[in-house]
Each structure stands twice: as structure tokens, then as C-alpha cells.
Amino acid sequence: MQLINGYKDGTFRPNIPITRAEFAVILNRVFNISSSRSCLGRPYSQWIAA
């Protein structure tokens, strides 16, 4: 399972803080969240703040 990838230039920067978007991608990969899944009867796109 490849949870964390390097940057497009082929580097990996473990000492640089990650952004919210990068952290969201990691969580998505860990918990295998897809837009077709739902919670409380609603699609994720309707209950997660954009």
C-alpha cells in the first residue's frame, strides 16, 4: 500500500511540513474513502466542508 508519494520532481521531503490537502490525501488513502460512500444517509460531498 503506497500511502505517501514523493513530489513530481522525484524528491521526497520528510522534514517539510505537509499541507492540509496533502494530509487529506493521506487520510483518504488510509481509510479508503470514496465519493460513493455515505455517512448518515448522505454522500460525503454533502456533509464535508469544502
Angle 39-5-28 from CA coordinates, rounded to 5°:
0
pLDDT at 38: 55
Q: How many domains does the chain have?
A: 1
pLDDT at 6: 83
pLDDT at 42: 67
Q: Which structural domain range is residue 26 located in? A: 1-50
Q: What pLDDT, in 10s, does the model give residues 1-50? A: 678 888 889 898 889 999 999 898 888 888 877 665 555 666 666 666 55
pTM of the model: 0.55
d(CA 22, CA 32): 15
